[in-house]
Amino acid sequence: MRILIIEDEQPASTRLKKLLLEAEPEAIILDEIVSVKSAVDWFKNHSQPDLVFMDIAMPGKSGLEVIRELPSIDFEIIFVTAHIEYTIQAFKFSAVDYLLKPVDELSLIDAVSRAEAKIKAGQLNKNLETLIYNLHQQKKTNDLK
């Protein structure tokens, strides 16, 4: 699983990364981003991750605003924040979870497991769509013969 961490507080980012790598040793942390501007730029210049851990309250813009600016969201999101008042808005983005700081290990493991299940289901759906498309193309080719 390819993971991106967007967190403006370095100690929180470091702790999250440590917990993630303990819970998911095979996870690949693509980057740790500390500002909204860097996050927007990152998405413009890189392929999408599988999972994003997004702080909500950051200087300048919120993590929710970053998500709104993206042309597409082909990844799962777990919001991490010290502010409970953003919960409803976060789930409007179909967030996998909303973790309150300081993040505890069991909540993180549970959230990552749910994200992983959604990612696998999404990949399965894409594989099925490809199979159906290929079968339709093969049928068209056979019908032309």
Round to whole Å and give the CA distance between 139 and 144. Answer: 9
Pairing of strands 51-55, 76-81: parallel
Residue 115 has a pLDDT of 93
Q: How high is the mean pLDDT of the chain?
A: 86
User: Which are the contacts of 74, defined by CB distance < 8 A and separation ≥ 6?
Assistant: 48
Tokens, residue 102: 């300081």
Residue 61 has a pLDDT of 85
pTM of the predicted protein model: 0.81
Residue 135 has a pLDDT of 66
Q: Which parts of the chain register pLDDT below 50?
A: none
Query: Please, what sign has the CA dihedral across residues 23, 26, 32, 36?
Result: negative
Please report where in the chains the tokens 């959230």 appear, as a residue.
111
Dump pLDDT digits (tens) for 25-67.
999 999 999 998 899 899 999 988 999 999 998 888 888 888 8
Beta bridge partners of 73: none
Query: Please, what sign has the CA dihedral across residues 74, 75, 79, 85?
Result: positive
